[in-house]
């Protein structure tokens, strides 16, 4: 088939076809791909501890000068978040806000009984081979982890899997309030439809305000301090195994919680049943 017939069949112009043949990616696009490799290597070599400043200094030591904002954007594109960083809060000062989903908690983390209010969030777990993402839902009443899931991809299915695990274990009544942040995994159509299908009501933090989901922030600080900080996971499978043991065998059943009078979440539920 000649070029003229092929272009007609594909509904493209011959000039467009030849332009495509001779197209070369912009210099900045090529630079970004090179920088991504360098940035990721520095990030992983330092076990996720380096943010934009230290990565910039490391690049300078190699004779590479890159603007910090550019480094931050490339980190964001790769889904890499340094330990202790608050990239999720960077849009806090934007004037526009999503008024479709109200904040039903307003930083009041109390419930009169179990399975009335759950809070959820996502964090990342570094391993030697891949970054792993952990989604968790916690019952405000007992501070128990009711559902959790892990994946090497931070997609909507991750939070749906964690939520459905909680549904399968707890069987909450219709009207369950599920509070999350504004992450796309929680605001997307898939998670919204799953909540509706199970009669749950969605509540959202204000944009960029970590205190609106302080209970989840506290849990992630705890698991990182007590398990992840001193661990070197070789791969996602090892991380999954250790996190399973921490949540299901230790945190829910044995770990004393100050807000519960220094008993574990499961003990608290038994005591108040």
Per residue in 5-55, pLDDT tens?
665 655 556 666 555 555 555 677 678 878 888 898 898 888 888 888 999
- Closest residue by Cα to residue 147 from 183, 114, 120: 120
pLDDT at 88: 47
Per residue in 58-89, pLDDT tens?
999 888 999 898 998 888 877 778 876 654 44
Domains and CATH numbers, the chain: 3-83 (no CATH), 117-271 (3.30.420.10)
Pair 216, 120: CB distance under 8 Å: yes
Pair 173, 115: CB distance under 8 Å: yes
Per residue in 98-107, pLDDT tens?
457 877 777 7
Structure tokens at 88: 């999720």
**Alpha helices by DSSP H, the chain:** 3-10, 14-21, 27-45, 52-61, 68-78, 156-170, 184-187, 189-197, 214-223, 236-244, 265-271
Structure tokens at 235: 């791969």
The CA distances from residue 76 to 8, 32, 51, 87, 90, in Å, are 41, 13, 11, 8, 11
- Token look-up 């439809």 returns 193
């Amino acid at each position: 088939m000649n070029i003229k017939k092929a272009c007609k069949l594909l509904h493209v112009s011959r000039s467009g076809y030849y332009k495509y043949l001779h197209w070369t990616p912009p210099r900045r696009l090529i630079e970004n791909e090179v920088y991504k490799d360098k940035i990721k290597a520095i990030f992983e070599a330092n076990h996720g501890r380096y943010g934009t400043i230290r990565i910039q200094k490391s690049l300078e030591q190699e004779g590479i000068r890159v603007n910090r904002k550019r480094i931050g954007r490339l980190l964001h594109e790769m889904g890499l978040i340094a330990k202790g960083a608050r990239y999720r809060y960077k849009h806090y000062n934007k004037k526009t806000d999503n008024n479709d989903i109200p904040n039903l908690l307003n930083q009041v983390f109390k419930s009169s009984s179990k399975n009335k209010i759950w809070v959820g969030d996502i964090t990342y777990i570094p391993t030697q081979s891949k970054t792993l993402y952990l989604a968790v839902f916690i019952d405000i009443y007992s501070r128990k982890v009711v559902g959790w899931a892990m994946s090497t991809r931070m997609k909507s299915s991750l939070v749906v899997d964690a939520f459905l695990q909680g549904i399968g274990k707890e069987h909450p009544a219709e009207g369950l309030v599920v509070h999350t942040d504004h992450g796309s995994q929680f605001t997307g159509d898939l998670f919204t439809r799953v909540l509706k299908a199970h009669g749950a009501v969605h509540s959202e933090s204000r944009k960029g305000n970590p205190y609106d989901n302080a209970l989840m922030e506290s849990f992630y600080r705890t698991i990182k301090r007590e398990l992840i900080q001193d661990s070197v996971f070789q791969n996602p499978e090892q991380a999954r195994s250790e996190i399973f043991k921490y949540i299901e065998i230790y945190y829910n059943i044995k770990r004393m919680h100050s807000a519960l009078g220094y008993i574990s979440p499961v003990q608290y539920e038994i005591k108040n049943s």
